[in-house]
Structure 1
Amino acid sequence: MNTLLNIIWLVLSGFWLFLGYMLAALIMFVLIVTIPWGIGAARIGIYALWPFGKRVIDTPTAGVGSMLGNIVWVLLAGWWIALEHIVSGIALCLTIIGIPLGIANLKLVPVALLPLGKEIVDA
Protein backbone atom coordinates (compact mmCIF):
# COMPACT_ATOMS: atom_id res chain seq x y z
CA MET A 1 0.00 0.00 0.00
CA ASN A 2 2.86 2.38 0.82
CA THR A 3 4.34 1.87 -2.64
CA LEU A 4 1.04 2.73 -4.34
CA LEU A 5 0.59 5.84 -2.19
CA ASN A 6 4.19 6.88 -2.88
CA ILE A 7 3.72 6.53 -6.64
CA ILE A 8 0.53 8.61 -6.61
CA TRP A 9 2.23 11.12 -4.29
CA LEU A 10 5.24 11.36 -6.60
CA VAL A 11 3.08 12.12 -9.62
CA LEU A 12 0.72 14.59 -7.96
CA SER A 13 2.96 16.59 -5.66
CA GLY A 14 6.13 14.82 -4.51
CA PHE A 15 8.25 15.74 -7.50
CA TRP A 16 7.40 19.45 -7.24
CA LEU A 17 8.00 19.48 -3.50
CA PHE A 18 11.32 17.73 -4.08
CA LEU A 19 12.32 20.43 -6.58
CA GLY A 20 11.42 23.15 -4.06
CA TYR A 21 13.58 21.55 -1.39
CA MET A 22 16.44 21.04 -3.82
CA LEU A 23 16.24 24.70 -4.89
CA ALA A 24 16.44 25.70 -1.22
CA ALA A 25 19.40 23.33 -0.75
CA LEU A 26 21.16 24.80 -3.78
CA ILE A 27 20.68 28.34 -2.47
CA MET A 28 22.00 27.27 0.94
CA PHE A 29 25.05 25.61 -0.66
CA VAL A 30 25.85 28.74 -2.68
CA LEU A 31 25.77 30.91 0.45
CA ILE A 32 28.49 28.63 1.95
CA VAL A 33 27.82 29.62 5.59
CA THR A 34 24.42 27.96 5.35
CA ILE A 35 25.67 24.59 4.05
CA PRO A 36 24.29 22.70 7.10
CA TRP A 37 20.82 23.99 6.21
CA GLY A 38 21.38 22.88 2.62
CA ILE A 39 22.14 19.36 3.80
CA GLY A 40 18.96 19.40 5.90
CA ALA A 41 16.91 20.69 2.97
CA ALA A 42 18.22 17.91 0.73
CA ARG A 43 17.45 15.29 3.41
CA ILE A 44 13.87 16.50 3.82
CA GLY A 45 13.52 16.88 0.05
CA ILE A 46 14.26 13.19 -0.40
CA TYR A 47 11.71 12.43 2.32
CA ALA A 48 9.14 14.64 0.55
CA LEU A 49 9.77 12.71 -2.65
CA TRP A 50 8.84 9.30 -1.14
CA PRO A 51 7.24 9.86 2.34
CA PHE A 52 4.97 6.88 2.95
CA GLY A 53 6.57 4.17 5.06
CA LYS A 54 8.65 6.73 6.96
CA ARG A 55 7.88 9.14 9.74
CA VAL A 56 9.42 12.20 11.35
CA ILE A 57 10.25 12.14 15.03
CA ASP A 58 11.67 14.78 17.35
CA THR A 59 15.30 14.36 18.35
CA PRO A 60 15.40 14.53 22.15
CA THR A 61 18.99 15.81 22.22
CA ALA A 62 18.27 18.84 20.01
CA GLY A 63 18.96 21.99 21.96
CA VAL A 64 19.31 25.72 21.61
CA GLY A 65 21.44 25.41 18.46
CA SER A 66 18.63 23.69 16.63
CA MET A 67 16.16 26.36 17.77
CA LEU A 68 18.43 29.13 16.49
CA GLY A 69 19.01 27.19 13.28
CA ASN A 70 15.26 26.84 12.78
CA ILE A 71 14.86 30.61 13.08
CA VAL A 72 17.44 31.12 10.32
CA TRP A 73 15.78 28.40 8.22
CA VAL A 74 12.31 30.00 8.50
CA LEU A 75 13.69 33.34 7.37
CA LEU A 76 15.69 31.97 4.44
CA ALA A 77 13.58 29.14 3.02
CA GLY A 78 11.12 27.58 5.45
CA TRP A 79 8.23 29.94 4.89
CA TRP A 80 8.05 29.47 1.11
CA ILE A 81 8.47 25.70 1.31
CA ALA A 82 5.70 25.56 3.94
CA LEU A 83 3.56 27.67 1.61
CA GLU A 84 4.30 25.16 -1.17
CA HIS A 85 3.03 22.36 1.11
CA ILE A 86 -0.12 24.30 2.00
CA VAL A 87 -1.00 25.10 -1.62
CA SER A 88 -0.31 21.55 -2.72
CA GLY A 89 -2.28 20.10 0.20
CA ILE A 90 -5.33 22.25 -0.50
CA ALA A 91 -5.19 21.39 -4.21
CA LEU A 92 -5.01 17.68 -3.43
CA CYS A 93 -7.95 17.91 -1.01
CA LEU A 94 -10.18 19.09 -3.88
CA THR A 95 -10.47 15.53 -5.18
CA ILE A 96 -11.69 12.41 -3.38
CA ILE A 97 -8.55 10.43 -4.25
CA GLY A 98 -6.28 13.28 -3.22
CA ILE A 99 -7.71 13.84 0.28
CA PRO A 100 -5.34 11.43 2.09
CA LEU A 101 -2.42 12.87 0.16
CA GLY A 102 -3.53 16.43 0.92
CA ILE A 103 -3.73 15.65 4.62
CA ALA A 104 -0.26 14.08 4.48
CA ASN A 105 0.97 17.19 2.71
CA LEU A 106 -0.45 19.46 5.39
CA LYS A 107 1.22 17.30 8.07
CA LEU A 108 4.57 18.18 6.46
CA VAL A 109 4.10 21.92 7.06
CA PRO A 110 5.63 21.84 10.59
CA VAL A 111 8.59 19.85 9.25
CA ALA A 112 9.06 22.38 6.46
CA LEU A 113 9.00 25.26 8.93
CA LEU A 114 11.14 23.75 11.70
CA PRO A 115 13.26 20.91 10.27
CA LEU A 116 16.18 20.98 12.69
CA GLY A 117 15.77 18.74 15.70
CA LYS A 118 13.80 16.20 13.66
CA GLU A 119 14.84 12.79 12.41
CA ILE A 120 13.36 10.71 9.58
CA VAL A 121 12.96 7.03 10.47
CA ASP A 122 11.28 4.01 8.93
CA ALA A 123 7.74 3.48 10.18
Structure 2
Amino acid sequence: MLRDPAPREAIPFGIAAFRIAGYVLWPFGRTTVEKPDAGAPSCIGNVIWVIFAGWWLALAHIATSIPLFLSIIGIPFGWANLKMIPISLMPLGREVVPTDEKFGGR
Protein backbone atom coordinates (compact mmCIF):
# COMPACT_ATOMS: atom_id res chain seq x y z
CA MET A 1 0.00 0.00 0.00
CA LEU A 2 1.31 3.43 -0.88
CA ARG A 3 1.76 6.01 1.81
CA ASP A 4 0.33 9.49 1.62
CA PRO A 5 2.84 12.18 0.65
CA ALA A 6 4.24 14.37 3.41
CA PRO A 7 2.09 17.36 4.34
CA ARG A 8 3.17 20.83 3.23
CA GLU A 9 4.00 21.81 6.81
CA ALA A 10 6.69 19.12 6.96
CA ILE A 11 9.12 20.96 4.69
CA PRO A 12 8.57 24.71 5.20
CA PHE A 13 12.05 25.80 4.09
CA GLY A 14 11.80 23.87 0.83
CA ILE A 15 8.39 25.33 0.07
CA ALA A 16 9.70 28.81 0.88
CA ALA A 17 12.63 28.28 -1.48
CA PHE A 18 10.27 27.27 -4.32
CA ARG A 19 8.01 30.26 -3.53
CA ILE A 20 11.02 32.57 -3.87
CA ALA A 21 12.08 30.83 -7.10
CA GLY A 22 8.65 31.29 -8.66
CA TYR A 23 8.58 34.94 -7.66
CA VAL A 24 12.08 35.49 -9.02
CA LEU A 25 11.10 33.85 -12.31
CA TRP A 26 8.25 36.31 -12.93
CA PRO A 27 7.83 39.12 -10.34
CA PHE A 28 5.84 41.48 -12.58
CA GLY A 29 2.15 41.82 -11.74
CA ARG A 30 2.56 40.00 -8.44
CA THR A 31 3.35 41.02 -4.89
CA THR A 32 3.75 39.39 -1.50
CA VAL A 33 1.43 39.69 1.47
CA GLU A 34 1.59 38.33 4.99
CA LYS A 35 -0.68 35.42 5.84
CA PRO A 36 -2.92 36.35 8.77
CA ASP A 37 -2.84 32.79 10.16
CA ALA A 38 0.95 32.33 10.02
CA GLY A 39 1.54 31.95 13.76
CA ALA A 40 4.59 31.42 15.94
CA PRO A 41 6.21 28.56 13.97
CA SER A 42 6.65 30.81 10.95
CA CYS A 43 8.21 33.47 13.18
CA ILE A 44 10.71 30.97 14.58
CA GLY A 45 11.36 29.65 11.08
CA ASN A 46 11.96 33.18 9.80
CA VAL A 47 14.56 33.77 12.52
CA ILE A 48 16.36 30.59 11.46
CA TRP A 49 16.03 31.57 7.78
CA VAL A 50 17.45 35.09 8.38
CA ILE A 51 20.45 33.68 10.22
CA PHE A 52 21.36 31.07 7.61
CA ALA A 53 20.11 32.40 4.27
CA GLY A 54 17.98 35.54 4.39
CA TRP A 55 20.53 38.24 5.06
CA TRP A 56 22.85 37.31 2.21
CA LEU A 57 19.95 36.84 -0.22
CA ALA A 58 18.68 40.34 0.63
CA LEU A 59 22.17 41.79 0.24
CA ALA A 60 22.55 40.02 -3.12
CA HIS A 61 19.29 41.55 -4.36
CA ILE A 62 20.48 45.00 -3.33
CA ALA A 63 23.90 44.47 -4.91
CA THR A 64 22.45 43.24 -8.21
CA SER A 65 19.83 45.98 -8.41
CA ILE A 66 22.45 48.75 -8.36
CA PRO A 67 24.04 47.86 -11.73
CA LEU A 68 20.59 47.26 -13.21
CA PHE A 69 19.59 50.84 -12.40
CA LEU A 70 22.55 52.15 -14.41
CA SER A 71 20.93 51.31 -17.73
CA ILE A 72 17.52 52.39 -18.96
CA ILE A 73 16.63 48.84 -19.98
CA GLY A 74 17.57 47.48 -16.55
CA ILE A 75 15.47 49.88 -14.44
CA PRO A 76 12.33 47.66 -14.34
CA PHE A 77 14.48 44.67 -13.42
CA GLY A 78 16.17 46.72 -10.70
CA TRP A 79 12.76 47.53 -9.22
CA ALA A 80 11.78 43.88 -9.49
CA ASN A 81 14.99 42.95 -7.69
CA LEU A 82 14.14 45.34 -4.86
CA LYS A 83 10.63 43.86 -4.64
CA MET A 84 12.20 40.49 -3.87
CA ILE A 85 13.97 41.65 -0.71
CA PRO A 86 11.06 41.14 1.74
CA ILE A 87 10.29 37.60 0.60
CA SER A 88 13.93 36.56 0.45
CA LEU A 89 14.58 38.02 3.89
CA MET A 90 11.59 36.41 5.65
CA PRO A 91 9.64 34.04 3.37
CA LEU A 92 7.67 32.00 5.91
CA GLY A 93 4.20 33.32 6.61
CA ARG A 94 4.05 35.16 3.27
CA GLU A 95 2.35 34.35 0.01
CA VAL A 96 2.66 35.65 -3.54
CA VAL A 97 -0.57 37.13 -4.92
CA PRO A 98 -1.46 38.87 -8.20
CA THR A 99 -1.86 42.64 -8.20
CA ASP A 100 -4.05 44.96 -10.22
CA GLU A 101 -1.04 47.01 -11.27
CA LYS A 102 -0.07 46.51 -14.88
CA PHE A 103 3.64 46.46 -15.65
CA GLY A 104 4.48 49.46 -17.81
CA GLY A 105 0.95 50.86 -17.54
CA ARG A 106 0.18 54.35 -18.81
Aligned-residue RMSD, C-alpha: 1.6
Q: Does the aligned pair in 1 maintain the 2:28–2:80 contact within 8 Å?
A: no
Tell me the amino acid that sits aligned with residue 71 of structure 2: T
- For structure 1, which runs of at least 5 residues remain unmatched after alignment? 1-33
Partner of 2:36: 60
Match of 2:67 among 91, 95, 98: 91
Amino acid at match of 1:114: M
Regions of 4+ moved over 3 Å: none
Deviation at 1:89, TM superposition (A): 0.8
TM-score (norm 2): 0.75
**Percent of aligned positions that are identical:** 54
Residue deviations 1:61-101 (CA, integer Å, cap 9, x gap) = 11221111100001111112112211111111111221222
- Equivalent residue of 1:101, what SS? helix
In structure 2, list runs of 5 or more residues that go unmatched.
1-9, 100-106
How many Å apart are 1:114 and its aligned residue?
A: 0.8
Distance 1:107 1:122 in 2: 14
Q: How many residues are paired up?
A: 90
Q: CA deviation at 1:53?
A: 2.1
Alpha-carbon deviations, 1:1-28, whole Å to 9, x = none? xxxxxxxxxxxxxxxxxxxxxxxxxxxx
State the structure with bigger RCO (CA 8 A, min sep 6), 1 or 2.
2
Q: Are residue 101 (structure 1) and residue 77 (structure 2) matched?
A: yes
